[in-house]
Amino acid sequence: QSALSQPPSASGTPGQRVTISCSGSGPNIGTNTVNWYQQLPGTAPKLLMYRNDQRTSGVPDRFSGSKSGTSASLAISGLQSEDEAIYYCAPWDDSLNGLVFGGGTKLTVL
Amino acid sequence: QVQLQEWGPRLVRPSETLSLTCSVSGVAISSGGHHWSWIRQHPGKGPEWLGYIYDNGSAFYRPSLKSRITMSVDTSKNQFSLRLSSVIAADTAVYFCARGRGTVVDSWGQGTLVTVSS
């Protein structure tokens, strides 16, 4: 069982805005910044956002991240079919001295 | 641009040792400033960080695996390695090597499926 809690699924229609939440605790989100990864089927996770709200090079500004207390969220506006993927939040965890991953949220574009 | 590629046996027998190596290209491990990680992912689950190592050989392991895991680095070959001993079926997973800096892991290999079975 992951130390982080994400909804297992989310969905939206093209053009809509979707938000994915990630709930953690003191040693992880409460203390460190949050990274978000996007994973397409059969591929490695790809870094999407880092340090809560910084987009990796090439990621469109439709993607945004935020953090408050021990929770974080990833928002995707202007939803597109290519956004269909599994999204993982992943902050550093001081008790683990390593990266901890959420269980993932599977985003479906209807 | 950094590229990472995992290689090693895809099938390991129970109680034996899983060994994987990650070849790094595009950046020298010896240039410093980064840590080099192993991460695994069981089917249908989120990734699980196993540990990381620096170019000087300092390594940090997931506490629950500490008794079974060893990482090493060979800067002359620009490679780093993972050994996981006494494997069981639950160690069957896709294993990824990755590069990080501070609290951000930014580049991953494509991953390799390792199956533990007799």
Q: Which of B91, B80, B3 is nearest to B37 (CA)?
A: B80
3-state secondary structure of A81: helix
pLDDT of residue A1: 61
Q: Give the separation between CA A21 and CA A9, rounded to whole angstroms.
A: 11
3-state secondary structure of A83: helix
pLDDT of residue B32: 85
pLDDT of residue A3: 85
For chain A, which residues lie within 8 Å of any Cβ of chain B, measuring from their own Cβ? 2, 32-33, 35, 37, 43-47, 50-51, 56, 88, 90-92, 96-104
Contacts of B108 in chain A (CB under 8 A): 44-46
pLDDT in tens, chain A (110 residues): 678 999 999 999 999 999 999 999 999 999 999 999 999 999 999 999 999 999 999 999 999 999 999 999 999 999 999 999 999 999 999 999 999 999 999 999 99
pLDDT of residue B47: 96
| Interface residue B103 vs chain A (CB under 8 A) | yes
Contact A45, A70 (CB under 8 A): no
Flag whether pLDDT at B115 surpasses 80: yes
pLDDT of residue A102: 96
Length of chain B, please?
118
pLDDT of residue A2: 72
What separation in angstroms does the CA of A77 have from each of A23, A54, A71, B9, B100? 21, 16, 20, 43, 28
Interchain pair B103, A98: CB under 8 A: no
Separation in Å, CA of A55 to nearest CA in chain B: 12
Point out the residue among A46, A51, A101 whose CB comes nearest to the CB of B48. Answer: A101
Q: What is the pLDDT of residues B71-99, one digit of tens each?
A: 999 999 999 999 999 999 999 999 999 99
Length of chain A, please?
110
3-state DSSP of chain B: CCEEEEECCCEECCCCCEEEEEEEECCCHHHCCCEEEEEEECCCCCCEEEEEECCCCCEEECHHHCCCEEEEEECCCCEEEEEECCCCHHHCEEEEEEEEECCEEEEECCCEEEEECC
Q: Considering Cα of B91, then B94, then B98, then B100, what sign does the dihedral take?
A: negative
Contacts of B40 in chain A (CB under 8 A): none
Q: What is the pLDDT of residues B14-70, one digit of tens each?
A: 999 999 999 999 999 999 899 999 999 999 999 999 999 999 999 999 999 999 999
Please give the DSSP secondary-structure letter assigned to residue A82: G
Interchain pair A96, B111: CB under 8 A: no
Interchain pair A51, B104: CB under 8 A: yes
